[in-house]
Amino acid sequence: MLAIAAGQFKGPDYRGLISQDMDLLDRLPPEAGKRRADLQRTIDARIDDLVDAADRGRALRRAAVSYQGNWRDIVLLLCVLLFTIIWWEVDHSRANWLPMFILLILLAVVASVYTLRGLLRVAFTLARWRPHHNEHPGAGVSN
């Protein structure tokens, strides 16, 4: 996760691999029918993987947008804040101190947004749920 956050992790380049395999498929002689079929099968599998990854990404984005928030957001925010405070006490001359501190601040901001959104949603739900009883039983009744 830290490698992904630091931008050091690069996933496989499916499009490049598919392009290379298609180029190789074009160079194979027609007599190599078994090899051509096997290579075509791997190309098809990579294309299917690419489509599946796009579908999963779309589903994850949809789930992230529709997320309602709950008590775990508050716990996560508290943990991030506490770890940030602890990290502040670590020796500042360490090479990874500043990138980690910046990452922790960004995580705290993201957790704060989710926590605030969840709390506002709960507050609005409670405000709408409150029963509307007539507080003055004699109101509207003429004497």
Q: What is the pTM of this model?
A: 0.44
**H/E segment holding residue 102:** helix 97-129
Q: pLDDT class for 4, splitting at 50, 70, 90?
A: low
Please name the residue that has the structure tokens 């991030």.
80
Distances (CA, A) of 52 to 47, 49, 142: 9, 5, 70
pLDDT on residue 44: 92
**Model confidence pLDDT, tens digit, residues 21-57:** 899 888 888 888 899 899 899 999 989 988 988 888 8
Q: Where are the domains of the chain?
A: 11-66, 68-130
pLDDT on residue 25: 86
**Model confidence pLDDT, tens digit, residues 97-134:** 899 999 999 999 999 988 888 888 777 777 776 655 55
**Whole-angstrom distance, CA of residue 42 vs CA of residue 40:** 5
